[in-house]
Amino acid sequence: MTRPEEASQARAWVGIDIGGTFSDVVVIDETGEVITAFKVPSTPDDPAEAVIAGLERLVDRLPGLADGRLPTAVFHGTTVATNALIQKRGAKTALLTTEGGRDVLELRRQARPDLYRLFQRISPPLVERQWRLEIAERMAFDGSIITALQKASVREAVEVLRQGEVEALAICFLHAYANDEHEQRVKRIIEEELPHVDLSLSSDVCPEVGEFERTSTVVINAYVSSEVRRYLRRLRESMSRYGVNQFHVVKSNGGLTSATNAERYPVHLIESGPAAGIVAAAELGRSKGIQNLIAFDMGGTTAKVGVVQGRQPRLTREFYADRYVEGDDVGGYAIRSPVIDLAEIGAGGGSIAWLDPAGVLKVGPQSAGSQPGPACYGRGGELPTVTDAHTVLGTLSPHLLEGAPSGLRRDLARAAVEKEITRPLDWTMEHSAHAILGIATANMAEMVRLVTVRRGLDPRDFTLVAYGGAGPLHACDIAREVGI
């Protein structure tokens, strides 16, 4: 590894990834050699704080960054858009649509995730019905005008939006992909009357056939826009102080975009962080001459799996975000956008072990996150997690885990497992810890089968690549479970 003082004279590239528990910073030089790498605790309430803390720590290690002598480019994988959607922390959003189309968003495709479940949960629309407003206008499929835009209906909608203090607005007119004239005219009116409102047009964000998917995509873009814009602008201001002259954000398809473009199309960032990991796994496969890979990423909060075939990540043109809630398929939110195909579940180092009402041991999807974190971190966490189970068994080395300032407290881990699992089930401490890890492994092995066996792929034809804070700890068990 290059010494920091030597690196101050070299060109460097910085990679920053925000996870649910830790945020990672890695710096490489122009030869690809790692200059430095470290973790900082994530800050869920304000994700930018973790990135800024990482930059400050980087300046301490590489002083050349502070005065701009070190030309740098920062590549950033982010979960800000994803978290805003999942945690429902987006802007108050309204939708303007063609007369008669206000319920497209709620009717979806009328497909139930589980046909025979009497009490099926479905993801609620991001825009309540009272804020889905109809505009008198209509285009034909070929872009010809059937009903001219009635400005009076637009003015009425503007007054409703003004009184409702709407923060973001999606505009999605029928067949606007063929002719965007009406959307553009309404946009000019909104910009004049409500200049503070974030605008998203379907003809700009997703100019494709498919009314439900197009509507859902533009609504999500509007819903997360203010959160993503505030975040990225704050980062750009911080990076400019440290002499960073290039700032790129990873898109859901694994490509890169500018921060300015990311602010305009935040819907393309929904799977930003996981996509970056799979692209890296594909590159590793190319460098090693391996054609087919299963990329397994297990962090502190979630686990993700994607497939690389013929040295290329598997892509899909449509996906459903936030589809699984507490283990149930609730439909999710349709996004029509190129994205790396992957599966994700709530299984990570911080996943909490608990007993259901029948006394059956479960692991996840709830996570201890970074605050308070696993019990063994000594930050106030009292519930047993996967990391605590590893600590009990001694499979984690305290001095190697950066970010746990007091070291791994085995006594606290044992106390948490004892109280919540061992005593109620009358098990031994070791049996409890092994059971927690076994269930976590089984959950993640099923996720690997989901992207391979259930799609006609034989996992024995693939090489497993494990990464993330907890991935390598479980890789061998998962490979054994699925036959790799």
How many residues does this entry show for the chain? 484
Helix or strand holding residue 264 (H, E):
helix 259-264
pLDDT, position 357: 92
Please indicate, yes or no, if residue 337 is contained in any of the structural domains: yes
Q: How many CB atoms lie within 10 A of CB 356?
A: 8
Task: Could you list the beta-strand ranges (E) of 259-349.
Answer: 293-298, 303-309, 312-313, 315-321, 324-325, 328-329, 333-340, 342-345
Domains contained in the chain, number: 3
Same domain for 202 and 234? no
Which of 482, 449, 460 lies closest to 292, judged by CA? 460
Q: Please state, in angstroms and rounded to a whole number, the distance separating the CA atoms of residues 484 and 477.
A: 10
Please indicate, yes or no, if residue 280 is contained in any of the structural domains: no
Question: Which one of 239, 272, 305 terminates a domain?
Answer: 272
Q: Please state, in angstroms and rounded to a whole number, the distance separating the CA atoms of residues 465 and 484.
A: 11
Please indicate, yes or no, if residue 279 is contained in any of the structural domains: no
Same domain for 314 and 431? yes
pLDDT, position 325: 66
The per-residue pLDDT string of the chain (484 residues; one tens digit each, 9 = 90 and over) reads 444 444 444 467 889 988 777 788 998 887 788 888 888 888 877 888 988 898 888 878 776 655 544 557 899 988 888 878 877 889 999 999 999 999 999 988 877 777 788 888 888 999 999 999 999 999 999 999 999 999 999 999 999 999 999 999 999 999 999 999 999 999 999 999 999 999 999 999 999 999 999 999 999 999 999 999 999 999 988 888 877 778 999 999 999 999 999 999 999 998 888 898 899 999 999 999 999 999 999 888 778 899 999 888 988 899 888 876 655 778 889 999 999 988 877 788 888 999 999 999 999 878 887 778 899 988 888 999 999 999 999 988 666 555 444 568 899 999 999 999 999 999 999 999 999 999 999 989 988 998 899 889 999 999 999 998 889 999 999 999 999 9
Same domain for 448 and 342? yes
pLDDT, position 36: 86
Same domain for 306 and 206? no
Q: Return the percent helix, strand and coil in the chain, to nearest 5.
A: 40, 25, 35
Same domain for 434 and 333? yes
Q: Please check whether residue 258 is in contact with residue 251, taking contact to mean a CB–CB distance below 8 angstroms.
A: no
Please indicate, yes or no, if residue 205 is contained in any of the structural domains: yes
Same domain for 442 and 364? yes
Q: Please state, in angstroms and rounded to a whole number, the distance separating the CA atoms of residues 378 and 405.
A: 9
Same domain for 103 and 36? no
Same domain for 362 and 421? yes
Same domain for 346 and 252? no
Same domain for 296 and 159? no
Domain that holds residue 30: 4-84+229-272
Integer angstrom CA distances of residue 132 from 97, 136, 260, 266 = 7, 13, 28, 21
Which of 386, 380, 381, 382 lies closest to 365, judged by CA? 386
Same domain for 417 and 315? yes
Task: Assign residue 25 the CATH number of its domain.
Answer: 3.30.420.40
Please indicate, yes or no, if residue 107 is contained in any of the structural domains: yes
Which of 380, 361, 360 lies closest to 370, judged by CA? 380
Same domain for 421 and 379? yes
pTM exceeds cut of 0.75: yes
Q: Please check whether residue 300 is in contact with residue 369, taking contact to mean a CB–CB distance below 8 angstroms.
A: yes
Please indicate, yes or no, if residue 358 is contained in any of the structural domains: yes
Maximum C-alpha span of the chain: 74
Please indicate, yes or no, if residue 281 is contained in any of the structural domains: no
Please indicate, yes or no, if residue 347 is contained in any of the structural domains: yes
